[in-house]
Amino acid sequence: MKLLAIVPDELPSLRLLRPLRREGVEIAVGHTPEVIAREAPGSEVILYSSLAGGTPPFSEVWPHTGPGLKWVHSFEAGLDRLLTPELIASPVMVSNARGAYAPPLAEFAVYGILFFYKQTRRMLAQQQAHRWEQFEVESLAGKVMAVVGYGGVGSACAQAARRLGMRIHALRRHPERKERGVERFFAPEDLLPMLRGADVVLAALPLTPATRHWLNAEAFAAMKPSAIFINLGRGPVVDEAALVEALRRGQIAGAALDVFEHEPLAADSPLWAMENVLLSPHSTDRTVSPHWTDVGMRCFLQNWRCYRKGVPLLTRVDKAAGY
């Protein structure tokens, strides 16, 4: 059996694959077109990551794969560079890192709320100016968090917020399925009514043709002027121009963003200079301990054990749905 890891050669967590060699697994590593063309034809399993800037999209990998390919695992949760029409139509199984990076993302969600509710910019400005000036702050208790995309990340964020006394509303395809800790579920067609009642809107949507720019000018216009918007899912689910306009006009109070429509964020993006924006360069899940690449690799290895036993993969993707 051959495993092709299309990842950067220097990825620290590659060491976790060494025990597989004792199982008789041939492991090839590399993300260049030359390595892919040489190693993909005979590979049964492909571990794919777009971490390296030069990694080709999977549409350029697929033509080199052979009939023995059975399973492709995405090192990331996002699938927009992986799912091609050919892969979707094929019998090849696909899995991803769904939920693996949820804990630090949930921490950032709470931090994003507190950043605005506790007036962090004002606090730091007064500290730097040696100015004692008391002011009032908001509390999270009793506030409503509306989770748009109640998957692994969305549910982890909801759990963290609930511990701090927030009430949880969430959007899912089947709102009739109740879940403890969620006050109310909304159907996708009820997005705007959900947004109108939210104090914090958290986006944790996968990127599919249906969700691209799903959070648009109409969505931001429905939010409260005091609302905080947080995006931890995929950047293009938000119409970024509409978000910038909503922030400029005061339609919403602030935004905490870890993902963007185009990455890296352009140097001339107005988001950089906005006082009501907390901006992270898609780094909130890149933890030092445990190292984030180890977290991703362990997710793959958990699925690997399932694959070798012939039981269902833990994070298998619905290729047609896109997540």
* Residue 53 reports pLDDT greater than 80: no
pLDDT band at 35 (very low <50, low <70, confident <90, very high): very high
Provide the b/e sequence for 53-86 (b: ≥16 CB within 10 Å): eebbebeebbebbeeebebbbbbbbbbbbbbbee
Q: Which residue has the higher pLDDT, 51 or 204?
A: 204
218 is catalytic: no
Q: From the candidates 179, 263, 305, 308, which is the catalytic residue?
A: 263
Q: Does residue 282 have an active-site annotation?
A: yes
The CA distance from 183 to 197, in Å, is 12
Given 282, 286, 298, 316, which residue is catalytic? Answer: 282
Question: What pLDDT digit, counting tens, does each position of 64-91 carry?
Answer: 999 999 999 999 999 999 999 999 999 9
CB 97 within 8 A of CB 72: no
Tokens of 72: 């492709």
pLDDT band at residue 278 using 50, 70 and 90 as cut-offs: very high
Cβ(215)–Cβ(241) below 8 Å? no
Domains in the chain (CATH in brackets) are 2-99+290-309 (3.40.50.720), 102-279 (3.40.50.720)
Cis peptide before 104 (omega within 30 of 0): no
Q: Which residue in the list 98, 167, 234, 240 is annotated as catalytic? A: 234
Give the global pTM. 0.95
Distance between CA atoms of residues 222 and 201, nearest Å: 11
pLDDT digits (tens, 9 = 90+) for 109-144: 999 999 999 999 999 999 999 999 999 999 999 999
Q: What is the DSSP string of 144-183?
A: EEEEES-SHHHHHHHHHHHHTT-EEEEE-S-TTS--TT-S
Rounded average pLDDT over 93-107: 98
Torsion angle of C-alpha atoms 281, 285, 289, 291, degrees rounded to 10:
-90
